[in-house]
Structure 1
Protein backbone atom coordinates (compact mmCIF):
# COMPACT_ATOMS: atom_id res chain seq x y z
CA UNK A 1 0.00 0.00 0.00
CA UNK A 2 1.31 3.42 -0.97
CA UNK A 3 2.07 6.05 1.63
CA UNK A 4 -0.39 8.93 1.92
CA UNK A 5 0.53 12.03 -0.07
CA UNK A 6 1.85 14.97 1.90
CA UNK A 7 0.77 17.56 -0.68
CA UNK A 8 -2.51 17.67 -2.57
CA UNK A 9 -2.65 17.07 -6.31
CA UNK A 10 -4.01 20.61 -6.69
CA UNK A 11 -0.90 22.07 -5.04
CA UNK A 12 1.36 19.90 -7.20
CA UNK A 13 -0.38 20.96 -10.42
CA UNK A 14 -0.34 24.63 -9.40
CA UNK A 15 3.37 24.47 -8.49
CA UNK A 16 4.32 22.84 -11.80
CA UNK A 17 2.15 25.28 -13.77
CA UNK A 18 3.73 28.22 -11.89
CA UNK A 19 7.23 27.01 -12.73
CA UNK A 20 6.52 26.13 -16.36
CA UNK A 21 4.81 29.45 -17.17
CA UNK A 22 7.49 31.67 -15.59
CA UNK A 23 9.92 33.36 -17.89
CA UNK A 24 12.80 33.28 -17.45
CA UNK A 25 12.82 29.98 -15.58
CA UNK A 26 13.64 30.60 -11.91
CA UNK A 27 15.79 28.32 -9.85
CA UNK A 28 13.55 25.61 -8.42
CA UNK A 29 14.35 26.71 -4.87
CA UNK A 30 12.51 30.04 -5.24
CA UNK A 31 9.02 28.77 -6.21
CA UNK A 32 9.42 25.83 -3.81
CA UNK A 33 10.13 28.23 -0.96
CA UNK A 34 7.20 30.46 -1.98
CA UNK A 35 4.85 27.44 -1.90
CA UNK A 36 6.32 25.87 1.23
CA UNK A 37 7.40 22.61 -0.42
CA UNK A 38 10.76 20.90 -0.61
CA UNK A 39 12.74 21.85 -3.71
CA UNK A 40 13.48 18.21 -4.55
CA UNK A 41 9.77 17.40 -4.39
CA UNK A 42 9.03 20.22 -6.84
CA UNK A 43 11.87 19.08 -9.09
CA UNK A 44 10.35 15.58 -9.19
CA UNK A 45 6.87 16.95 -9.96
CA UNK A 46 8.29 19.04 -12.82
CA UNK A 47 10.17 16.07 -14.25
CA UNK A 48 7.07 13.90 -14.08
CA UNK A 49 4.97 16.59 -15.78
CA UNK A 50 7.58 16.83 -18.54
CA UNK A 51 7.50 13.04 -18.99
CA UNK A 52 3.69 13.07 -19.12
CA UNK A 53 3.83 15.83 -21.77
CA UNK A 54 6.27 13.80 -23.89
CA UNK A 55 9.14 16.22 -23.29
CA UNK A 56 11.36 13.61 -21.58
CA UNK A 57 12.05 10.00 -22.35
CA UNK A 58 14.22 9.14 -19.36
CA UNK A 59 11.31 8.21 -17.08
CA UNK A 60 7.93 6.51 -17.28
CA UNK A 61 4.77 8.55 -17.74
CA UNK A 62 2.07 8.38 -15.08
CA UNK A 63 -0.02 6.11 -17.32
CA UNK A 64 2.93 3.78 -17.92
CA UNK A 65 3.59 3.59 -14.18
CA UNK A 66 -0.05 2.68 -13.53
CA UNK A 67 0.05 0.03 -16.24
CA UNK A 68 3.27 -1.43 -14.85
CA UNK A 69 1.80 -1.55 -11.32
CA UNK A 70 -1.32 -3.33 -12.64
CA UNK A 71 0.79 -5.89 -14.50
CA UNK A 72 2.90 -6.52 -11.41
CA UNK A 73 -0.22 -7.09 -9.30
CA UNK A 74 -1.53 -9.44 -11.97
CA UNK A 75 1.65 -11.52 -11.87
CA UNK A 76 1.76 -11.98 -8.09
Structure 2
Protein backbone atom coordinates (compact mmCIF):
# COMPACT_ATOMS: atom_id res chain seq x y z
CA UNK A 1 0.00 0.00 0.00
CA UNK A 2 1.41 3.35 -0.96
CA UNK A 3 0.54 6.55 0.83
CA UNK A 4 1.29 9.55 -1.34
CA UNK A 5 2.94 12.31 0.67
CA UNK A 6 2.43 15.98 -0.02
CA UNK A 7 5.11 16.69 -2.59
CA UNK A 8 6.92 19.98 -2.28
CA UNK A 9 10.15 21.12 -3.83
CA UNK A 10 13.05 20.14 -1.62
CA UNK A 11 15.92 22.53 -1.03
CA UNK A 12 18.26 19.64 -1.80
CA UNK A 13 16.44 18.53 -4.94
CA UNK A 14 15.93 15.03 -3.47
CA UNK A 15 12.81 13.17 -2.46
CA UNK A 16 12.54 9.68 -0.96
CA UNK A 17 9.37 7.60 -0.82
CA UNK A 18 9.37 4.47 1.35
CA UNK A 19 6.74 1.78 0.76
CA UNK A 20 6.13 -1.50 2.55
CA UNK A 21 5.15 -4.40 0.28
CA UNK A 22 4.27 -8.07 0.52
CA UNK A 23 6.07 -10.11 -2.14
CA UNK A 24 5.65 -13.88 -2.11
CA UNK A 25 4.41 -13.75 1.47
CA UNK A 26 7.48 -11.79 2.64
CA UNK A 27 7.44 -8.21 3.82
CA UNK A 28 9.80 -5.92 1.99
CA UNK A 29 10.48 -2.23 1.65
CA UNK A 30 10.79 -0.32 -1.60
CA UNK A 31 12.54 3.04 -1.58
CA UNK A 32 12.02 5.37 -4.53
CA UNK A 33 14.37 8.29 -4.96
CA UNK A 34 13.55 11.28 -7.15
CA UNK A 35 16.21 13.87 -7.84
CA UNK A 36 16.89 16.94 -9.92
CA UNK A 37 19.23 15.98 -12.72
CA UNK A 38 20.55 19.54 -12.89
CA UNK A 39 21.91 19.10 -9.34
CA UNK A 40 23.01 15.46 -9.31
CA UNK A 41 25.08 13.58 -11.85
CA UNK A 42 25.20 9.81 -12.40
CA UNK A 43 28.05 9.34 -9.89
CA UNK A 44 26.18 11.29 -7.21
CA UNK A 45 23.01 9.27 -7.77
CA UNK A 46 24.91 5.97 -7.60
CA UNK A 47 26.59 7.02 -4.34
CA UNK A 48 23.21 8.01 -2.85
CA UNK A 49 21.69 4.71 -4.00
CA UNK A 50 24.51 2.65 -2.51
CA UNK A 51 24.41 4.52 0.79
CA UNK A 52 20.62 4.29 1.12
CA UNK A 53 20.65 0.60 0.23
CA UNK A 54 23.41 -0.05 2.77
CA UNK A 55 21.55 1.73 5.56
CA UNK A 56 18.34 -0.22 4.95
CA UNK A 57 20.30 -3.48 4.78
CA UNK A 58 21.80 -2.74 8.20
CA UNK A 59 18.32 -1.96 9.58
CA UNK A 60 17.15 -5.37 8.36
CA UNK A 61 19.85 -7.34 10.20
CA UNK A 62 18.78 -9.54 13.08
CA UNK A 63 18.85 -7.60 16.35
CA UNK A 64 19.20 -4.21 14.66
CA UNK A 65 16.24 -2.81 16.60
CA UNK A 66 18.16 -3.39 19.86
CA UNK A 67 21.34 -1.60 18.75
CA UNK A 68 22.38 2.01 19.16
CA UNK A 69 21.81 3.79 15.84
CA UNK A 70 25.44 4.91 15.51
CA UNK A 71 26.59 1.26 15.50
CA UNK A 72 24.56 0.58 12.36
CA UNK A 73 26.55 3.04 10.24
TM range (shorter): 0.3 to 0.5
Question: Which protein is richer in helix relative to its size?
Answer: 1
Question: Which protein is richer in strand relative to its size?
Answer: 2
Q: TM-score, normalised by structure 2?
A: 0.34
Q: TM-score, normalised by structure 1?
A: 0.33
